């Protein structure tokens, strides 16, 4: 079983739509969680951290469910510029290693 699993998509949505991605992780001892964004043929960049209480950054909302070991990302009012691959990232309890999911592709169309 992979340590971090994501639906690869693609999710094809119209501008203005709300879209949600889920991610599951296998190690219950995982300490911290993040979403990174990767544009086509570019490097990954940190989008936001995910806190147990849930957190919001503009149109983006991240949630963590430790009991079910899943993380979610909600994007409201999708923009064309949101088109990218969204990587779910977990920091395991050991060391400073980040484990990246394979990513979920989002395509926002006009």
Interface with another protein (CB under 8 A): 32, 34, 42-46, 49, 87, 89, 91, 95-103
Name 94's Cβ contacts closer than 8 Å, sequence gap at least 6. none
Give min distance, CB of 73 to another protein, in A.
Answer: 16
- Percentage helix, strand, coil for the chain under 3-state DSSP, each rounded to 5: 5, 55, 45
Query: Minimum distance from CB of 20 to another protein (Å)?
Result: 21
Closer residue to another protein, CB minimum distance, 45 or 66 = 45
Tokens of 4: 């971090």
| Nearest-approach distance from CB 18 to another protein, in angstroms | 26
Closer residue to another protein in complex, CB, 15/39: 39
* CA distance readout (Å), 17 to 14, 30, 75: 6, 32, 8
């Amino acid at each position: 079983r992979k340590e971090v699993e994501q639906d690869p998509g693609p999710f094809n949505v119209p501008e203005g739509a709300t879209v949600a991605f889920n991610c599951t992780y296998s190690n219950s001892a995982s300490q911290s969680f993040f979403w990174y964004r990767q544009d086509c043929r570019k490097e990954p960049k940190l989008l936001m951290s995910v806190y147990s209480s849930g957190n919001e950054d503009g149109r983006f909302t991240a949630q963590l469910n430790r009991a079910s070991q899943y993380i979610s990302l909600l994007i409201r009012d999708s923009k064309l510029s949101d088109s990218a691959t969204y990587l779910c990232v977990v920091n395991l309890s050991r060391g400073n290693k980040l484990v990246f999911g394979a990513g979920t592709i989002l395509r926002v169309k006009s």
